[in-house]
Chain A
């Protein structure tokens, strides 16, 4: 069965600290896709990244970086030099295979609070 676990419910940091959000997934498919979304206090879901199961390269985008490790079924997200605007709920999600209509399976989310 497919599952996404975000063990950290809430994290609080002070501005300029680095923070890593953990994501562990379970799937039996060899082809799958992993996502991160940000949900700011305004409530909308903001897409951050999509990674397929065949690409284990780490990705960096500005202050954001992602570490994908198939050996540990993890897809962790690091924010470097955090800022108050990074305060949000972050969701990790999984979609399996390429079949029509495959839905996203979400973790429960990690609430990040960055204080000044």
Chain B
């Protein structure tokens, strides 16, 4: 199992450009998440999905879009990149645990700089 794979690891975008951050998991987890991490601010939820075809907004969804056409993939799209979107992005998936609740598996992150 590769776990949660994020690509690319690093990217520099110009203001107004668009791009898609890729996230794939091979663990057959139904639930997937996108977080962004800004310095000193912890991780904030952008979007999440409870299964193929179902997505919902998190705390900071503005400027982003997601889709979930398959269980494995959960791409995050930036349509018009802005400097405020400079951040480290983490994708995660979760699984039910014995005894209740969920465990979470994180990708290694994508460092995005918008200039």
Contact A45 B106 (CB under 8 A): yes
Of chain A, the residue at the smallest CB distance from B41 is A108
A85 CB-CB contact with B under 8 Å:
no
Contact residues in B for A9 (Cβ distance below 8 Å) = 40
A-contact bits for B61-100, CB 8 A (1 contact / 0 none): 0000000000000000000000000001010101001011
In the bound complex, how far is the Cα of B39 from the Cα of A9, in angstroms? Answer: 11
Encoded as 1 (CB less than 8 Å from any A CB) or 0, chain B from 48 to 64 comes to 11100000101000000
A window 84-116: CB within 8 A of B: 91, 95, 98, 100-109
Q: How many angstroms from the CA of A109 to the CA of B31 in the assembled complex? A: 24
Secondary structure class of chain B's binding surface, majority of residues: strand
When distances are taken between beta carbons in the complex, the residues of chain B under 8 Å from A95 are 101-102, 104
Whether B40 contacts A106 by the Cβ 8 Å rule is: no
Minimum C-beta distance from B74 to chain A (A): 12
How far is A104 from B105 in the complex, measured between Cα atoms in Å?
A: 11
Q: Please state if B108 and A43 are interface contacts (CB–CB under 8 Å).
A: yes
Residues of chain B with a CB closer than 8 A to A104's CB? 33, 43, 45, 92, 104
In the complex, what residues of B have CB within 8 A of residue A64's CB? none
A52 in contact with B101 (CB, 8 Å): yes
Residues of B within 8 A of A100 (CB): 30-31, 50
A44 touches B106 (CB 8 A): yes
- 5 A-B pairs, CB-CB below 8 angstroms? A9-B40, A44-B109, A50-B97, A91-B43, A101-B56
- Nearest 9 pairs of A and B residues by beta carbon: A101-B50, A106-B42, A108-B42, A33-B101, A106-B43, A101-B31, A45-B106, A100-B50, A44-B108
